[in-house]
Amino acid sequence: MNYERERIDTPDGDFLDLDWSRVGSNRLAVVLHGMEGDSKRHYVLGMVKALNRGGWDAVALNFRGCSGECNRKPRFYHSGDTEDLHTAVLHVAAGNEYSKLALIGFSLGGNVILKYLGERDGALHPLIKKAVTFSVPCDLTACEVKITQSGAGLYLKRFLRLLHNKIKMKMQVMPGSVDDNGYNQISTLREFDNRYTAPLHGFKDALDYYEKSSCGPFLLNISVPTLLVNSADDPFLAESAYPVREARENPYFFLEVTDFGGHVGFFAVNRLGEYWSESRALEFLNDR
């Protein structure tokens, strides 16, 4: 599969890279990756291929700084940043090619989608008809604690290494905007977010960022059919990331908790070679 890349400008003078995979459909799914992912991660590629096989065009949104090139601003992306998703939605809708849009997101990208759907509520673009999300940390504060305490040291080291690469790139492209003095002393996401994410994006500190960016408080406002699939064995998710009450009280919001799947690891394969998550997403999108 070969993507066709399109670069679009953001209202604040930055850019977003969209990677398209078209089959000539009048239905489009916008796919969002997780933390330090991109459009070429296996779970995104697999979903895009499954969407195409199922008769959907697909476009994968790369968050700022995740498409292989440093973005233009000191800021980058974060779990509650819904404005870039909105920019992409307005752009793809303006082409008048599609009669229906769906949103699909993984982990951080899923949090962005659920928050976006809930916070816009009555102002949601009318072409958006459904959404599917996987492995979403609905309560960022509790999930940050869970990750730190769960023994997921290898995951943390990987995230912090990748984030460090972004900081070093920004130091080269825009000297003085950030620095990495003492970066090796950072051992948790909260420490990173206190030092970088919060000040770069207008939050008081990491806890303020987590509180304002968690999708949990927005779930009751969702007004289009939306599926959240979280696995019971996900090492990153705290108990509060399984919003049973919200699913019970909101007829548009559906929660499925699988026994297995870890974090974005729904790897059971069907006869078409699709992962379970890909088949489930298509089933939900195509269900009338």
Contact assessment for residue 224 and residue 196, using Cβ atoms and an 8 Å cutoff: no
Question: Rounded CA gap, 253 and 81, in Å?
Answer: 21
Confidence (pLDDT) at 253: 98
Question: Rounded CA gap, 97 and 186, in Å?
Answer: 46
Catalytic residues: 107, 234, 263
- pLDDT 10s digits, 30-67: 999 999 999 999 999 999 999 999 999 999 999 999 99
Model confidence at 164, in pLDDT bands (50, 70, 90)?
Answer: very high
pTM over 0.85: yes
Q: In what order do the strands lie in the sheet with 253-258?
A: 4-9, 15-21, 57-62, 27-32, 100-106, 128-134, 226-231, 253-258
Pairing of strands 100-106, 27-32: parallel
Confidence (pLDDT) at 134: 98
Question: Rounded CA gap, 107 and 113, in Å?
Answer: 10
- pLDDT 10s digits, 170-202: 999 999 999 999 999 999 999 999 999 999 999
Model confidence at 287, in pLDDT bands (50, 70, 90)?
Answer: confident
Confidence (pLDDT) at 271: 73
Question: Rounded CA gap, 134 and 112, in Å?
Answer: 12
Domains of the chain: 4-138+219-286 (3.40.50.1820)
